[in-house]
């Protein structure tokens, strides 16, 4: 018996198959306030894809939630996480509307878009940090009639990475004039170079939508800020990092002990993702002002 590939039922079959795949890949989210006395449990089951853990942590971080503990497990093609979260004051989550918003946000992480900067032009800057740099950057933008809507700058080991979202100060539209964009890039690069950063200062202009802190991680990593001389820390603040190769399990375990802070897990997962590592298993715990993370990774 031959099957006719032109049969009208074929598209219907494919539509049903796509719907089944869609239903299977939509993350299942459950919020549990009963199992733990001092935190709300956020449980996520999802089909595994590269970057799925980062997307989940990114959503929780963007909602200003503090992750006290976490358990990450990946079994074949399936991904299972449990996060113990509180608000920034250390309280469990009780607002039903906010809980519903968490469920909806995590339920779309396979297809989530970042914060919208439609209608804005994004500037990406990297260079050597120095006193007065930010003031000089804003003076140039003001002189070129650019209105700064939002800006973030990170500094580490004497380097800076900055994302600045701007628009035309008079019209309120994104900047699309190629000649003006060239002037903005040239003048900002001159400011970033200063007297001693001729080769490493970089500027770029983009109309693309991006998650600001995710992009800052990528910019810092590309700038290789971690290879430069570190700032002096006290012994208490110096992170302790070790890597153990578990040959019998087929992956490596990174043990991290450091001072706990907001967005720590997001920063760790971003760094591992930028280095092309996948987290298959992990335990995360915090006690007092200390954090203990043990992700199992594969390249």
So what's the pLDDT on residue 148? 94
Point out the residues of the chain with pLDDT beneath 70. Answer: 1-25, 76, 110-118, 195-199, 207-210, 229-236
So what's the pLDDT on residue 13? 52
CA-CA distance, 60 to 102, in Å (whole number)?
A: 8
Domain ranges within the chain, ordered by starting residue:
1-113+238-299, 121-210
Between the CA of residue 297 and those of 77, 272, 273, 280, what are the distances in Å? 16, 8, 10, 6
So what's the pLDDT on residue 231? 59
* Domain at 121-210, CATH from 1.10.287.1080, 2.60.120.260, 3.40.190.10, 3.30.70.260: 3.30.70.260
So what's the pLDDT on residue 12? 58
So what's the pLDDT on residue 2? 46
Please say whether the beta carbons of 211 and 58 come within 8 A.
yes
So what's the pLDDT on residue 248? 78
Using N-to-C axis directions, what is the helix angle for 178-193 and 133-143, rounded to 10°?
A: 160
């Amino acid at each position: 018996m031959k099957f006719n590939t032109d049969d009208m039922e074929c598209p219907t079959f494919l539509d049903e198959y796509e719907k089944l795949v869609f239903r299977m890949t939509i993350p299942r989210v459950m919020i549990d306030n009963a199992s733990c006395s001092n935190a709300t449990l956020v449980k996520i089951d999802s089909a595994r894809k590269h970057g799925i853990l980062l997307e989940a942590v990114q959503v929780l971080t963007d909602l200003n939630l503090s992750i006290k503990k976490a358990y990450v497990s990946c079994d074949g093609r399936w991904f299972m996480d449990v996060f113990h979260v509180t608000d920034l004051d250390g309280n469990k989550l009780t607002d039903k509307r906010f809980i519903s918003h968490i469920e909806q946000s995590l339920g779309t992480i396979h297809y989530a878009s970042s914060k919208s900067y439609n209608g804005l032009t994004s500037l990406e800057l990297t260079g050597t940090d120095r006193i007065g740099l930010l003031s000089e950057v804003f003076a140039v933008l003001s002189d070129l009639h650019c209105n700064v809507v939002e800006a973030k700058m990170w500094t580490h080991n004497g380097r800076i990475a900055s994302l600045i979202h701007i628009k035309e100060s008079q019209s309120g539209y994104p900047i699309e004039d190629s000649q003006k964009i060239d002037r903005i890039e040239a003048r900002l690069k001159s400011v970033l170079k200063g007297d001693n950063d001729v080769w490493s200062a970089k500027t770029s202009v983009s109309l693309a939508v991006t998650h600001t802190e995710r992009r800052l991680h990528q910019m810092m990593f590309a700038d290789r800020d971690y290879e430069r001389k570190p700032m002096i820390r006290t012994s208490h603040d110096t992170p302790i990092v070790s890597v153990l190769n578990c040959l019998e399990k087929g992956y490596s375990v990174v043990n991290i002990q450091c001072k706990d802070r907001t967005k720590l897990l997001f920063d760790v997962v971003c760094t591992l993702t930028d280095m092309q590592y996948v987290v298959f298993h992990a335990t995360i715990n915090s006690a007092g002002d200390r954090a203990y993370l043990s992700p199992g990774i594969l390249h």
